[in-house]
Structure 1
Amino acid sequence: MLTQALPPAIATVLTIVSILTPHWVSYTVTADTGSKFQKYIGLHKSCSSVDDPTCRPFPNDDDCRDDQFFCSMWRSSGFLISFATIVELATLITFLVVMAGGKYKRESGWKLIGCFLLADAAVEFASIGIMAYLFDTDSQFSIPGWSLDWSWVLVTVSASVSVVLAVGLAVSAWLLPPEDDYEYLEDPIDS
């Protein structure tokens, strides 16, 4: 049962890591002197190789003074990913309850798990889309050297895993024979 819960757990861990690390968008440039400047922006903080302290909350009031749209969209993306984590944790608990339950729970519970997985993927893909839109359209990312970073990729993988799991559950529910408790034996008297 624990190995069957591994894929949903991996998706949840990927999402949590992406929230905790400031690597959604990064900027790296090397000066003519050879020194390297790096800036990493996460959902809730920004880190720079030249700032002291190196990390600060993001977006803060100074970031939002001139561009309320950017801040609203960035915060919305952060909220969506946090909400997706709650959905993933609910999916994981539901998965464990269904797998530990009896035959009826296993045969009917896949629908609920599949719905949770698709809801999670939809929320994560919405957040990923918002980030990609901001990256493509906001003027602060128009300077060469900016790129979507590995936290963005982690959430993309997490959402994709959720979709694959939901499709796999649906396909297995329709294609695999029902789980039977016993097999009927031929009646030797009627033969």
Structure 2
Amino acid sequence: MRTPPPRPFDHPSSSPRSIVALVPFALALLAAVFLLLKATGLTGTGGGPKREYYEPVPEEASGRLRRLSPHAPSTPRTGLSATLERACGETEPHVPAWIDHLSSLEENCPDMSEGERRELRRWAVRQCGAWCIWDLSTPEQVGWHLESRCFKRFDSREGPHVCDQWWFQRPKVELAEAHQEERRGRGRGGT
């Protein structure tokens, strides 16, 4: 008498039960690897969590930061410059020039409307030191880019732009949060 040919899953190591028994082990192994990577900071696009925005530095700390930074100008800042300095600090070599450009939009960008200047400065505080400043009120690749001495508006929907390569650095601000911030500004006598 002949023996029938083997059927799939006749071998004990290939049975569905043995495969199902491995699932909890595989899940536990994946969880352990994920926790290990998270603990060492190797997950994500950088070494650690990305800051959503920059907290303003208290006014009294601004002078101390200025004295500690070799990049800060020697004269104290006032008005908008002081606000940007408190929000961003001047610990990086390019930040003082960045603050100077944003503070002198009226002279450097005479064609820019006051509303556009206000929007640019509003979002610049959340993107300290960036030469491509994203408009955080929209999910589109829209913002301002420094050209010569003036920040010029760009819209990547109209064609590729040099700032597109920095899209990954755009702060992850929810639009609802941006609209709430706008409404709070209106409540304080803003436009």
Q: TM-score range by the shorter chain?
A: under 0.3
TM-score by length of 1: 0.22
Higher CA-based Rg: 2
